[in-house]
Structure 1
Amino acid sequence: MSNSVRFFLNGQIHEANVRPDTTVLDWLRNVPRLTGTKEGCAEGDCGACSLLIGHVDGDQVKYHAANSCILAMGQIDGRALVTVEGLKTGELHPIQAAMAENGSSQCGFCTPGIVMSLAGLAASNPQADDEAIHDALAGNLCRCTGYRPIVEAARKVVAAGGAAIAGPHVAAFAEIEPQSMLSDGGAVFHQPASLNELLALRSEKPEAILLGGGTDLGVALADYHTDWNEVIALASVRELRQICETDNHLSFGAAVTWEEVLARVSAHYPSLATLIRRFGSTQIRSMGTIGGNIGTASPIGDGPPALIALGAEIELASLSGHRFLSLEDFFLDYRKTELRPNEVIASISIPKPKEGQAFRVYKISKRYDQDISTVCGAFSVFREEGQVRSARIAFGGMAATPIRAIEAEQALVGTALDRRAAESCAAAISARFQPLSDWRGSAEYRLQVAANLVERFRRDVAGETVEVMAL
């Protein structure tokens, strides 16, 4: 057991004697006084607190942007941290130079976070196109400069071939390998390395917080000053970090990040890839995990409706063994699931697309990027000889849990997916659900939107052009 969090800070090994549930943002600003990293929203939305995290991936060190306001110090144990102060090594980083030359900053409050996001892009995708640049900036808010000069600066750097991050080599990480336990100030942070270690800890400490990427739990840590006195972190569990692919299925360990999921599903399910890009910025996708998104059991979580419509299966593990169930059966009631106190989510498996399958998922929200769903609808149908042979439809935001619309599915089976079939399906949806009203939308609005999505799906599959906007 150690009292020190060990990591590289701007290229140098650093040991921090700090409660492991202290946010990285608070520590950076208050201890080493690296105040270039700013606090804006304290929720992981504005990007002012963005920095880069480096980890070993094979024979290289890879860096990605993350929100330090919702990141706990325990989560950077064994990793490399780069702040805006650390980008400059003798001379300005190319992104810093391009931003300065192009007049890409006014008040400057958001600029360090933008620089860090674009530095991560320039290192990981030196041939980035405009779409990739805009995606990298989706989690960074700028209210006074406007994005045109910022995008132009990014274009200049990628046109020159990108820019690497100066930092420690792979071999150097052996000096700061993640520790099995951190303890300071009454907070204990466990970091099991294997599934067996994790299950033993879970059995012994069923009340401990299970921490994936912390993109949901971290909001309470930052915003409401919640203490985490006992945490079991999942990021180092080998089995939970695996991605397995067979001829028929893709299986993701529960600690696989959404960025990693995105890379694997894009070719198979482009509509799911679009959804993933929308419900989290690069900073969120690089930390948030597929298991965490399911485990929070939010009725408006964006992942579950799509996964349910695809027929996903979830694996739950404990010292007593493993059990498998359909994801739709995992959710019992509002924030209640099948997960037992001694269990963890081990993996999520989805079938690959089959011939004749059409899949679409639609998220309706007040803004396109970085927003909570009002309604999320996912549709998967198999057609043969022009007729629907089977259908799966799932919604978020329409009930206390993500849920299938069985009656609506039955209304499509045996039809040619024409207008009349869509109307019958929409009527079944309206009869099936009784959503609540809140600030995102009234019950009547949600019912109308859900019904309209059936027609949108019909037109989309038919190849008609549909005007798309965030509502």
Structure 2
Amino acid sequence: MRETIRFLKGGDIVELEDVGPTDTVLDYLRLRRRETGTKEGCGEGDCGACTVALGRLVDGKPVYQPVNSCIQLLGMIDGAQLVTVEDLSSDNKLHPVQSAMVACHGSQCGFCTPGFIMTLFTLYHSEGAEKSRKTVTEWLAGNLCRCTGYRPIVEAALEACFDAADDAFSWRANETREKLQSLADSRDVFIGDSERFFASPSTLDGLAALYGQHPDATLVAGATDVGLWITKQLRDLPKMIWLGRIEGLDRVESSPSGVLIGATASYQASEEAMSDLSADLGELWKRIGSKQVRASGTVGGNIANGSPIGDTPPALIALGSTLELQTIDGSRALPLEEFFIDYGKQDRKQGEFVTGLFVPRLSGNQTFRCYKITKRFDQDISSVMGAFRFTLENGVIREARIAYGGMAGIPKRAAGAEIALTGALMDDPSTWGEGMQALLSDFTPLSDMRASAEYRMETARALLAKALMEISGTAPEDIRVLAKREAGHDRAA
């Protein structure tokens, strides 16, 4: 057992033994190291002012990812290289990204600038990124400029970030690799006592044993949700178990039958496999948070926290995914939709935790669509999330799997609509009406700050029509006729 965390900072190995369960990287930098270049903005991982880079070995090479230090727990950087804006200059010379920001006048008030620079630093060290404005804006979607100075920032990125990396970090890559390799070990980490601790097991058996002893502990993978419990809800979480060091739990394995996603696999790590399953899934993954969120946040965490507006569960439910869970006594599997029982309640026994998810591939006669409806395109929570899988035979719907988020206290299938659409003809929109009408009985949505109940219901029905129209190639005017007919049914009811 190790009673410290260890990481690389400024070329030196740092070892800390005083790590609290809810200590954040941002507070460590600003309050303990007095490195104040990293700024605190929103405190919830939305604005990017606190962005730092974490370097970890991937296939034997240091790879840098941007993360929001305001919601990244300090214990979670164990074994990594922590890079902040203070680390970039070398021999009293600015980093190429910093020089480009100066030359292009990319800094105005300056508050957001360190975060932009650190995100661009990770783009600078990425491989294979296409040089385009679209690439830059996608990379910077998690960084907010309060002065609206985006044009010169984008210009700086285009000038600096698409040639081969030539900075102190690339020059010292071999040295960094050796130091990161020296930090890797298979010991469990436990800092604290039985009443208050930060722990990080290295094996599934170790996790099962520890969680069995402390079923009241908080399990954390990427902290993109748990971090907000700390910074916004001000919750005291005395027992924290981080899953990020468990070997194999971050696996993403593709096979002819589907994709297996480990509980700690990040959105970014699973994006390629999801895109391969469905182009719609690939687009959905790109709209989950920002680069910072996708580098840390996990698919397993999005499921395990049981949010009724989580982006991934409706799509994964519609695809017929299976969830894997484990306790110290053994493991089990269940259909994903059965995991969600009620708002804030999941089918998870005491001491049981999510280990992975299996997502089956579409068969030759199946089609899939999913849509995320938000007020903003980037960095926003769903008002309604709809996902649809249809099994077709000679133009007839033989099976429908329809799931929504934001329409109930849990991600939920539209059972009535599924039954009503079975037997419907894809080339005859008049046979779709019963399915759209059935949604009125399947859900009783609530009104909140994101959307009214009426908006949610109309949107859910429109998304179902959109999916059917796209798959069938039906002309929009046919859908308008159907919508008018259904509106008449509603008034009559």
Q: Give the TM-score range, shorter chain.
A: over 0.9
Q: Give yes or no for contact 2:325–2:333 (8 Å, CA) kept in 1.
A: yes
Query: What letter corresponds to residue 407 of structure 2 in structure 1?
Result: M
Q: Residues 314 and 425 from structure 1, CA distance in 2 versus in 1: closer, same or farther, beyond 3 angstroms?
A: same
Deviation at 1:3, TM superposition (A): 5.1
Report what 2:114 is aligned to.
112
How does 1:42-441 map onto structure 2 within 5 Å? 42-90=43-91, 91-128=93-130, 129-162=132-165, 165-166=169-170, 168-177=175-184, 180-184=188-192, 187-417=196-426, 418-441=428-451
CA deviation profile, 1:97-153 (whole Å, cap 9, x unmatched):
111111111111111111111111221235333332211111111121432221121
TM-score by length of 1: 0.94
Find the aligned partners of 1:121 and 1:388 in 2 and give their Cα distance.
45
Q: Residues 463 and 89 from structure 1, CA distance in 2 versus in 1: closer, same or farther, beyond 3 angstroms?
A: farther
Q: How many residues align?
A: 466
Query: What letter corresponds to residue 120 of structure 1 in structure 2?
Result: T
Deviation at 1:464, TM superposition (A): 7.1
Instruction: Choose 380-389 or 288-297, whichever is displaced more.
Output: 380-389
Query: What letter corresponds to residue 286 of structure 1 in structure 2?
Result: A
Q: Give yes or no for contact 2:40–2:70 (8 Å, CA) kept in 1.
A: yes
Find the aligned partners of 2:379 and 2:443 in 1 and give their Cα distance.
26
1:13 is the counterpart of 2:20:
no
Q: Secondary structure at the match of 2:249?
A: helix
Q: Answer with 1 or 2: which has the greater Rg.
A: 2
Q: Give yes or no for contact 1:209–1:228 (8 Å, CA) kept in 2.
A: yes
Find the aligned partners of 1:48 and 1:335 in 2 and give their Cα distance.
31
Q: Secondary structure at the match of 2:276?
A: coil
Q: Give yes or no for contact 1:126–1:158 (8 Å, CA) kept in 2.
A: no
Find the aligned partners of 2:73 and 2:105 in 1 and give their Cα distance.
34
Find the aligned partners of 2:17 and 2:200 in 1 and give their Cα distance.
17
Instruction: Choose 15-24 or 89-98, whichever is displaced more.
Output: 15-24
Q: Residues 139 and 320 from structure 1, CA distance in 2 versus in 1: closer, same or farther, beyond 3 angstroms?
A: same
Query: What letter corresponds to residue 178 of structure 2 in structure 1?
Result: A
Find the aligned partners of 1:147 and 1:419 in 2 and give their Cα distance.
45
Query: What letter corresponds to residue 428 of structure 1 in structure 2?
Result: A
The sequence identity of aligned pairs, in percent, is 41
Find the aligned partners of 1:403 and 1:275 in 2 and give their Cα distance.
18
RMSD over equivalenced CA pairs, Å: 1.9
Give the one of 452, 466, 470 matched to 1:460: 470
Q: Secondary structure at the match of 1:241?
A: coil
Find the aligned partners of 1:325 and 1:7 in 2 and give their Cα distance.
38
Q: Give yes or no for contact 1:357–1:381 (8 Å, CA) kept in 2.
A: yes
Deviation at 1:94, TM superposition (A): 1.6
Q: Residues 464 and 89 from structure 1, CA distance in 2 versus in 1: closer, same or farther, beyond 3 angstroms?
A: farther
Q: Give yes or no for contact 2:424–2:432 (8 Å, CA) kept in 1.
A: no
Structure 2 residues not aligned, in runs of 5+: 477-493
Q: Secondary structure at the match of 1:379?
A: strand
Find the aligned partners of 2:204 and 2:475 in 1 and give their Cα distance.
47
1:31 is the counterpart of 2:41:
no
Find the aligned partners of 1:110 and 1:46 in 2 and give their Cα distance.
8
Deviation at 1:162, TM superposition (A): 4.8
Deviation at 1:221, TM superposition (A): 1.5
Q: Secondary structure at the match of 2:277?
A: coil
Instruction: Choose 354-363 or 15-24, whichever is displaced more.
Output: 15-24
Query: What letter corresponds to residue 18 of structure 1 in structure 2?
Result: D
Structure 1 residues not aligned, in runs of 5+: 467-471
Find the aligned partners of 2:282 and 2:351 in 1 and give their Cα distance.
33
Q: Secondary structure at the match of 1:240?
A: coil
Find the aligned partners of 1:14 and 1:399 in 2 and give their Cα distance.
47
Find the aligned partners of 1:465 and 1:238 in 2 and give their Cα distance.
51
Find the aligned partners of 1:207 and 1:89 in 2 and give their Cα distance.
46
Deviation at 1:4, TM superposition (A): 3.8
Q: Give yes or no for contact 2:108–2:149 (8 Å, CA) kept in 1.
A: no
Deviation at 1:357, TM superposition (A): 2.0
Query: What letter corresponds to residue 14 of structure 2 in structure 1?
Result: H
Q: Secondary structure at the match of 2:39?
A: coil
Q: Residues 85 and 24 from structure 1, CA distance in 2 versus in 1: closer, same or farther, beyond 3 angstroms?
A: same
CA deviation profile, 1:45-99 (whole Å, cap 9, x unmatched):
0000000011122211111000000011110111110001112222222211111
Find the aligned partners of 1:460 and 1:122 in 2 and give their Cα distance.
39
Q: Give yes or no for contact 2:5–2:189 (8 Å, CA) kept in 1.
A: no
Find the aligned partners of 1:30 and 1:204 in 2 and give their Cα distance.
33
